[in-house]
Amino acid sequence: MKIIIEKNYSDLSKKAADIIEKEIKNKPNLILGLATGSTPVGTYKELIRRHKEEGLDFAKVTTFNLDEYLGIPHDHINSYHYFMYDNLFKHINIDEDNINIPNGNPENVEEYCKSYDEDIEKQGGIDLQILGIGENGHIAFNEPDDKLYLGTHITDLTESTIRANARFFDSIEEVPKKAITMGLGSIMKAKKILLLANGKNKANIIGKLLKDEVVSTYNPASLLLLHPDVTIILDEESASEYLK
Ligand code: F6R
């Protein structure tokens, strides 16, 4: 596991964009796993800048997003579909046919979840997976529990996640209580993983993850300790407990 500590969020975002750019240049038809949330927004902004100013080419890139709220319309301002178009896709030259985001309103949930994992497999698996981390250690929406699912599945969001995500909604009651998410198995199959964390609110979980050296389903991110190619980029605030 490679740990990179950058001074601030802006430097973290540039470093993450460097890594993604390098992978795209090495393999123009990269299969890129993407996350939503606040953490990768700066990275996406930097990728957009590099596309517009330096010609970074997304024409052959295929993306798979980690998760989507269940029961929320595609065009809802808080859907992860909306988020991805707003923060990245509509600003770059990605082919719309190459964008995959879990459908928050599938007709047959079980079949749909299976097909999402099959689509990833058909592409030869994810080359580089971008991840954020929840304050409770969740990755994608794999929440702390006594068991974790391997494949894409429907999950209940925990109180902690609902509270954390309420900042995007008018009221906490509006936050969906369920989501569709890639499972730990799908994530762990990615060839490379890039986990980003910034800010004081991530310091505790990052300290626990990197200092305890324990794998537990109650800290889903700890499974990444078993992956052979993980890079973690932190800013100084999120690294503060780790460095103590
Ligand atoms: C989002 C996702 C979540 C977030 C996590 C951190 O697609 O998978 O696991 O990465 O909740 O969210 P932020 O970045 O908003 O702190």
Active-site residue, selected from the candidate residues 65, 87, 98, 136 = 136
pLDDT at position 11: 98
Instruction: Give tens-digit pLDDT for 165-191.
Output: 898 899 999 999 999 999 999 999 999
End-to-end CA distance of the chain: 19
CA of residue 199 to ligand 1 center, whole Å: 13
Q: Which atom of ligand 1 is nearest to the CA of 34?
A: 7
d(Cα 83, Cα 81) in Å, to the nearest integer?
5
The range of the structural domain enclosing residue 19 comes to: 2-239
Tell whether 230 is covered by a domain. Answer: yes
d(Cα 233, Cα 219) in Å, to the nearest integer?
19
93 is catalytic: no
For the chain, the domain total comes to 1
- Which pLDDT band, with edges at 50, 70 and 90, does 161 fall under? confident
Q: What are the E-state strand segments in the chain?
A: 2-6, 31-34, 62-65, 67-69, 99-100, 128-131, 153-156, 178-181, 192-197, 230-235
d(Cα 66, Cα 116) in Å, to the nearest integer?
10
Range 29-54 average pLDDT: 98
Active-site residue, selected from the candidate residues 6, 67, 117, 237 = 67
143 is catalytic: yes
Kindly report the protein residue whose alpha carbon is nearest to atom 9 of ligand 1.
Answer: 140
| Binding-site residues, ligand 1, Cβ < 6 A | 35-39, 66-67, 132-134, 138-140
pLDDT at position 162: 93
Q: How many other β-carbons are positioned within 10 Å of the β-carbon of residue 109? A: 15
CA of residue 133 to ligand 1 center, whole Å: 6
Q: Please report, for the domain that includes residue 136, its CATH number.
A: 3.40.50.1360
76 is catalytic: no
pLDDT at position 241: 98
Kindly report the protein residue whose alpha carbon is nearest to atom 11 of ligand 1.
Answer: 134
Cα-flanking dihedrals φ and ψ of residue 214, to 5°?
-130, 140
Supply the DSSP symbol for 180.
Answer: E
Please identify which residue in the block is written with the tokens 């580089």. Answer: 128
- Which pLDDT band, with edges at 50, 70 and 90, does 160 fall under? confident
Residue 99 forms beta bridges with which residues?
Answer: 63
Tell whether 244 is covered by a domain. Answer: no
Kindly report the protein residue whose alpha carbon is nearest to atom 12 of ligand 1.
Answer: 37
CA angle (142 as vertex; 166, 136 as ends), nearest 5 = 60
Both tokens assigned to 166: 């309420």
Please identify which residue in the block is written with the tokens 């990179």. Answer: 4
pTM, two decimal places: 0.97
pLDDT at position 82: 97
Tell whether 112 is covered by a domain. Answer: yes
Amino acid at 83: F
Q: Which atom of ligand 1 is nearest to the CA of 67?
A: 7
Range 136-151 average pLDDT: 96
Residue 6 forms beta bridges with which residues?
Answer: 235
Both tokens assigned to 181: 């998410």
Element (H, E) at 87: helix 80-87
Summary mean pLDDT of the chain: 96
Amino acid at 206: I
Instruction: Give tens-digit pLDDT for 205-223.
Output: 999 999 998 999 999 999 9
pLDDT at position 168: 87
pLDDT > 70: percent of the chain: 100
